[in-house]
């Protein structure tokens, strides 16, 4: 029995290796009688024509098939959320917590999605208010210094409580999904996506006593820049905005969510074992 997905949009990382898997995906979807909509980058790689951009593809399809890495996944997550369609990510590299489907078995995975019962995980997002604008991120928002080799000073407030004045290279606020990204690399904890929380992790803090915090997901986190050093806000590694002394942003869990297709052969702990090379 065919699923409700009638139109599949394909987004890829522009790389020579992707062409063989892109062609396999297009052929499989054609055999499944699923209409294929290629973003322009993917179409150009295999000599087809398309004027549909990555930023617009969500408006034309029922599901996004992604072949690339976590960065490519993050680049389409906003469109998927706005269109309320799921994303299925096939990983081209060795490490990929968002793109967890194996490219080698792309046909069988696509068959499971379109003719089986795809495993859908609902992922929470961050909502960031900054200078009158609202942004969404799947992994994290980071307040960090520029290229100057000096630490910055920030004030951290949670809800209506002053928590700390932090001297560090920066501060990461992440979702549980994003706990395995920059937060983990900075010494933060791994938090299951099923946990209702947010993670606050300092980057190289000057104080050895300030460590990661896991807080309830109904909290509002406010970060204010105290230093006059050049600093930036980075969202999911995709958008960078300047931050000046006295500027602040507020972060909370968004009411919107992302639908992510997970491997039917994988669970979160098996994924950690595989991606982090945890030997038995």
Q: Give the pLDDT confidence score for residue 16 in this predicted structure.
A: 84
Give the whole-angstrom CA distance, residue 105 versus residue 117.
17
Of 44, 56, 62, 70, the active-site residue reads: 70
Residue-range domains of the chain with CATH: 7-118+264-275 (3.40.50.10330), 125-256 (2.60.200.30)
CA-nearest of 222, 214, 120, 121 to 175 is 214
> Is 70 one of the annotated active-site residues of the chain?
yes
Q: Is 235 helix (H, G, I), strand (E, B) or coil?
A: strand
Q: Give the pLDDT confidence score for residue 207 in this predicted structure.
A: 85
**pLDDT tens column, 254-269:** 999 999 999 888 889 9
pTM: 0.93
Phi/psi of residue 163, each to 5°?
-100, -50
**pLDDT tens column, 2-60:** 567 999 999 999 988 899 999 999 999 999 999 999 999 999 999 999 999 999 999 99
Give the whole-angstrom CA distance, residue 122 versus residue 114.
19
Q: Is 23 helix (H, G, I), strand (E, B) or coil?
A: helix
């Amino acid at each position: 029995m065919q699923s409700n997905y009638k139109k599949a949009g394909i987004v890829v990382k522009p790389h020579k290796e992707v062409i063989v898997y892109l062609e396999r995906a297009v052929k499989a979807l054609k055999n499944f009688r699923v209409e294929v909509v290629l973003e322009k980058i993917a179409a150009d790689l295999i000599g087809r024509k398309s004027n549909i951009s990555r930023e617009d593809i969500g408006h034309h399809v029922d599901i996004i098939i992604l072949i690339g890495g976590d960065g490519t996944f993050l680049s389409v997550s906003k469109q998927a959320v706005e269109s309320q369609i799921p994303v299925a990510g096939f990983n081209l590299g060795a490490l990929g917590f968002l793109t967890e489907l194996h490219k080698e078995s792309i046909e069988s995975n696509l068959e499971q999605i379109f003719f089986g019962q795809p495993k859908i995980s609902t992922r929470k997002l961050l909502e960031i208010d900054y200078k009158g604008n609202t942004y969404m991120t799947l992994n994290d928002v980071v307040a960090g210094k520029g290229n100057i080799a000096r630490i910055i000073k920030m004030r951290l407030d949670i809800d209506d409580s002053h928590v700390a004045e932090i001297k560090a290279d920066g501060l990461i606020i992440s979702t549980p999904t994003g706990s395995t990204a920059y937060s983990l690399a900075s010494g933060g904890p791994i938090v299951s996506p099923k946990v209702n929380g947010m993670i606050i992790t300092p980057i190289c803090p000057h104080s050895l006593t300030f460590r990661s915090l896991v807080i309830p997901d109904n909290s509002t986190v406010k970060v204010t820049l105290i230093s006059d050093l050049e600093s930036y806000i980075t969202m999911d590694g995709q958008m960078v905005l300047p931050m000046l002394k006295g500027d602040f942003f507020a972060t909370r869990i968004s009411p919107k969510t992302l639908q992510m297709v997970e491997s039917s052969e994988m669970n979160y702990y098996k994924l950690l074992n595989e991606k982090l090379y945890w030997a038995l």
